[in-house]
Amino acid sequence: MTTAELTDQYLLGNYGRFPVTISRGEGGYVFDEDGKRYLDFATGIAVCSLGHCPEVMSKALSEQGRKLVHCSNLYRIREQAELARFVVEKMMERAGKVFFCNSGAEANDGLIKLARKHSYDRHGKEAEKNVIITCKQSFHGRTLGGIAATAQEKVKIGFDPLLPGFLHVPFNDVETLREAVTEKTAGILFEPLQGEGGINPATPEFMAAAAELRDEHDFLLMFDEVQVGSGRSGDWCGWRTILKDSGVEVEPDAVSWAKGFGGGFPIGAIWADDSCAPALGPGTHGSTFGGTPLASAVALAVLEEIEQSGVLENVKRQEKTIRDAVAGWSNPLVKSLRGVGLMLGFVICEEAMSSVEGFTESGNTPALFLVNKLMDAGMLTVPAGANVVRWLPRLNVTEEEVSEALAIFTRTLDELS
Ligand SMILES: Cc1ncc(COP(=O)(O)O)c(C=O)c1O
């Protein structure tokens, strides 16, 4: 049977997949079953931070794989504790405690539980201080907690009754945020740079207002860094990149990570400030596979490589190269470029796209139409919402790969317009 036949016969049809089977990866490239090579500017949706099969990962996988793969959180795990130290000392540079899980949605579920339990411990059951405020166009994952938190109708339809206690406000709308906060608020959770919603950065004013409200009303300010975190912004923490030069300083009480955190190995994490971390005491939370020796050793190897090999500097350098090149473009299909570091979104002009041959008949959104064309041309990218095409290259992307991406992208746009 072909892979397409196997997929159709045996796999749940929950993903809208491209008609391509990726069978091998090497550095910044992947290859399909027919041997066609693609420049990978999707990286498994911001996951393969060091590209495909980097030596550090293969080494950590095989060495730890021969030493100890799993033993349960019933016992202390050296690799997990070392990884937690890296998060606290290198990534956060702030005291706090870390919990490991397996995905972004699970990490956000952890944040939701942390905020509620923290309020419960401080104010008691009767206070019912359990409401989490999130933002429109957000994406926080596909668990029941994740879809309740995600302020996009399409992820919720058909799954009632949803987890109660969530309130959605327009992103970056300070006034509505102020009105939404009450004595019932247990937390505000948002992505400092929205990914799935269309590469929308939080404004410094919005972040400052959220922090101010947190201080006034005693709840947790939580950042979902699942996509923008782990170095993709050019710093360990996406919100610090966004706030740089703004004159605003905001620090959250808790943060979630996944995706690039393990470079492709499934692992998620949350960090909680020492003031709220005790809320998740013995017996309150857990995960069989959270922070196994293997997952922890691989993630630590990936993060240490990012730290020690100048990868964060590379992110900033390549971002600048891309921005400088794009500043000289005049193709009517591209309206603007937004994002930070190597989480960049090209905003596609719907009107210009509507006159492109084949677009209307395709039934696709402008972003999906262009992503398909780029794939035909040998480059993988990802749509973000209807009108944004995301570039999410590996963080150690080379100058040659960036030049190739710019060439494929401009050539494809020119051919379309
Ligand atoms: C910001 C954000 N949070 C959470 C998630 C969910 O992560 P996962 O798919 O690992 O559950 C995603 C996935 O796209 C995300 O972008």
User: pLDDT tens for residues 220-249?
Assistant: 999 999 999 999 999 999 999 999 999 999
Helix (H, G, I), strand (E, B) or coil at 135: strand
Q: Relative to the CA of 225, which ligand 1 atom is closest?
A: 1
Rg of the Cα atoms in the chain: 21
What was the pLDDT predicted at 235? 98
Distance 124 CA to ligand 1 centre (A): 31
What was the pLDDT predicted at 224? 99
Which tokens go with 381? 């990218």
One-letter amino acid identity for 225? E
Distance CA 126, CA 23 (A): 55
Which tokens go with 270? 């949350």
Contacts of 335 (CB under 8 A, 6+ apart): 347, 348, 349
Of all protein residues, whose CA lies closest to atom 13 belonging to ligand 1? 141
CATH 3.40.50.720 correct for 68-308: no
Per-residue pLDDT of the chain (417 residues; tens, 9 = 90+): 999 999 999 999 999 999 999 999 999 999 999 999 999 999 999 999 999 999 999 999 999 999 999 999 999 999 999 999 999 999 999 999 999 999 999 999 999 999 999 999 999 999 999 999 999 999 999 999 999 999 999 999 999 999 999 999 999 999 999 999 999 999 999 999 999 999 999 999 999 999 999 999 999 999 999 999 999 999 999 999 999 999 999 999 999 999 999 999 999 999 999 999 999 999 999 999 999 999 999 999 999 999 999 999 999 999 999 999 999 999 999 999 999 999 999 999 999 999 999 999 999 999 999 999 999 999 999 999 999 999 999 999 999 999 999 999 999 999 998
pLDDT digits 0-9 by tens, 339-356: 999 999 999 999 999 999
One-letter amino acid identity for 136? K
Helix (H, G, I), strand (E, B) or coil at 240: helix
Which among 258, 259, 257, 263 has a CA at the least distance from the CA of 298? 263
Of all protein residues, whose CA lies closest to atom 8 belonging to ligand 1? 104
Distance 104 CA to ligand 1 centre (A): 5
Q: How many residues does the chain have?
A: 417
CA 311 → CA 57, 231, 234, distances in Å?
Answer: 15, 8, 8
What was the pLDDT predicted at 334? 97
β partners of residue 388: 347, 384
Distance CA 138, CA 153 (A): 11
Q: Relative to the CA of 108, which ligand 1 atom is closest?
A: 4
Q: Where are the domains positioned within the chain?
A: 3-54+310-416, 68-308
Q: Strands of 334-340's sheet, edge to edge?
A: 334-340, 343-348, 388-391, 382-384
What was the pLDDT predicted at 392? 98
* Pairing verdict, β 200-201 and 22-26: unpaired
* Pairing verdict, β 343-348 and 388-391: antiparallel
Distance 351 CA to ligand 1 centre (A): 30
Q: Relative to the CA of 195, which ligand 1 atom is closest?
A: 16
> Which of 100, 112, 139, 144, when mutated, tests ligand 1's pocket best, judged by the most ligand atoms within 8 Å of its CB?
139
* Pairing verdict, β 193-194 and 200-201: antiparallel
> Is the shortest distance between the CB of 226 and ligand 1 below 6 Å?
yes
Give the other-Cβ count within 10 Å of 345's Cβ: 28
Distance CA 152, CA 157 (A): 10
Q: What is the largest CA-CA distance in the chain?
A: 63
Q: Are 228 and 340 in contact (CB under 8 A)?
A: yes
What was the pLDDT predicted at 328? 94
Structurally, at CATH architecture level, domain 3-54+310-416 sits in Alpha-Beta Complex (3.90)
Distance CA 299, CA 337 (A): 31
Distance CA 177, CA 217 (A): 13
Q: Convert 262-280 to b/e letters by CB count within 10 Å (16 or more is b).
A: bbbbbbbbbbbbeebbebb
What was the pLDDT predicted at 322? 98
pTM of the full predicted structure?
A: 0.98
> Is the shortest distance between the CB of 111 and ligand 1 below 6 Å?
no
What was the pLDDT predicted at 383? 98
> Is the shortest distance between the CB of 195 and ligand 1 below 6 Å?
yes
Q: What is the DSSP string of 347-393?
A: EE-HHHHHTSTTHHHHT--HHHHHHHHHHHTTEE-EEETTTEEEE--
Distance 102 CA to ligand 1 centre (A): 11
Distance 106 CA to ligand 1 centre (A): 9
Taking CB atoms within 8 Å and a gap of at least 24, the contacts of 146-150 are: 146/104, 146/105, 146/108, 146/109, 149/108, 149/112, 149/189
Of all protein residues, whose CA lies closest to atom 7 belonging to ligand 1? 104
Distance 67 CA to ligand 1 centre (A): 31
Helix (H, G, I), strand (E, B) or coil at 280: coil
What was the pLDDT predicted at 128? 98
Distance 34 CA to ligand 1 centre (A): 30
> Is the shortest distance between the CB of 227 and ligand 1 below 6 Å?
yes
One-letter amino acid identity for 158? G
